[in-house]
A and B are shown apart, each in its own frame.
Chain A
């Protein structure tokens, strides 16, 4: 039996706890606030700081229940213990169970807002908020500020321009991960879709990527294992991410 330290976003909390409970190894979960990906440098610094607190020899691997999340996880460095991360864009692929399934969904309907119990129950800004990019609701308090600063004519223009992208979104999907009672949240997602005139769908999530992450079985096409002395970099081709040797002596970092 091995010991993995799992770093995860709150958005995957229930799902990761569920698979960790049934994992063949000892899993220590460390939870980080959701929404940090809005400033990728903050999320990266937060995760790296946590990685750096883990002492050599205290676990067999540090597994990350994160995707690229913007470029938040690009640059994370393994100093003495391997890092493992799924090759996915973000948590939506992790909810859906594979990069391929998310890619099909994205290619078919890019204008989709995704909802889940894990994310909504911990959302400080209000539960009926979708995953991912800036929410439409985030613009609500801004108008008065714009009027005061730039005048009403410009404020109207700014609201129109800044809200334009939201008009291209036309579907809400609630992902059921099979953990807890998400009925109330599902209803909120359904109501939000009705209010905004989007179509609504419910999809069954699949914890297989999370299960693999804590299993120690990391297929190369779906996971990147970052050996000590390497960091995560972006890759333009298939696989999304790759490793790159760090240009400093590993021991020197801890001197």
Chain B
């Protein structure tokens, strides 16, 4: 089978959220000697870019994005060790989490998977993430801290985290982006974040923009 046909099948499987097909096709592509980096870029990242576009066009909603991201992740797991062996570097490292006190993770997890699908290395810290955990990730090399909050009750903890990063003397080492249902551009500016994204697709664009990729 030609390389392009296989790559296209991987792409289609990811867009359609067919996790098992995506993994099987990546295995097949690797067995045929395709370059893992090409599979990553032309298969997975290209598919997730299309998924983001379909979301922005109003054709995809959260469930479609979630199953596509799941298919992408399964396929990516196969590629990761090979990419490391090849010395393929991620676009950058992002630490993402829902802020302290907030237990909601659907939006945050979707953003995390979309960022991973765009070629970033993502440390998903989960929900109820303390400022200390974010700080530890910055010390560990995270170039972007991405914080989510679903409630106005927990939004102030975004500022608390930013203040703690400043206090730790790490503010110049990281860029900070925020999002979540009650978060706005104006709020992001008020609390001193570097960027705001209104949805998972916009978050990918913002991450690219913030680290100049």
Q: Which residues of A come within 8 Å of B, CB atoms? A: 68, 70-71, 89-90, 103, 106-107, 110-111, 133, 146, 149-150, 153-154, 157-158, 161-162, 164-165, 168-169, 233-236, 240
Contacts and interface: CB of A to CB of B under 8 A. Distances in A.
A233 B182 CA distance: 12
A110 B104 CA distance: 11
Contacts of A133: 104, 150-151
B186 interface: yes
Q: In the complex, which of the residues B127, B150, B152, B184 has the most CB atoms of chain A within 10 Å of its own CB atom?
A: B152
Contact of A234 (B102, B105, B187): B187
Interface string B123-165: 0000110000000000000000000001111101001000000
B101 interface: yes
B67 interface: yes
A103 B157 CA distance: 13
B186 A165 contact: no
B52 to A, nearest CB: 18
B70 interface: yes
B102 A164 contact: no
Q: In the complex, which of the residues A133, A154, A168 has the most CB atoms of chain B within 10 Å of its own CB atom?
A: A154
Chain B, interface size category, equals 20 to 34
A233 B128 contact: no
Contacts of A149: 63
Interface string B159-177: 1000000000000000000
B70 A110 contact: no
Nearest to B187: A234
User: Lowest 7 CB-CB distances: which A-B pairs, in order?
Assistant: A168-B103, A236-B190, A154-B67, A165-B104, A110-B101, A89-B152, A68-B152
Interface in B84-123: 101-106, 109
B139 to A, nearest CB: 26
Given A68-B182, A154-B70, A168-B103, 11 more contacts: A71-B152, A71-B182, A106-B101, A110-B103, A133-B104, A158-B63, A158-B66, A161-B106, A165-B104, A165-B106, A169-B103
Interface of B: 17, 19-20, 63-64, 66-67, 70, 101-106, 109, 127-128, 150-154, 156, 159, 181-182, 184, 186-187, 190-191
B67 A158 contact: yes
Given A70-B152, A71-B152, A133-B150, A164 B19 contact: no
B182 A70 contact: yes
Contacts of B154: 110
A162 B106 CA distance: 6
A89 B182 CA distance: 11
B67 A236 contact: no
B198 to A, nearest CB: 12
21 contacts: A68-B152, A89-B151, A107-B101, A110-B102, A110-B153, A111-B103, A133-B104, A133-B151, A146-B63, A154-B17, A154-B19, A154-B67, A157-B70, A158-B66, A161-B106, A164-B105, A164-B106, A165-B106, A168-B127, A234-B186, A236-B190
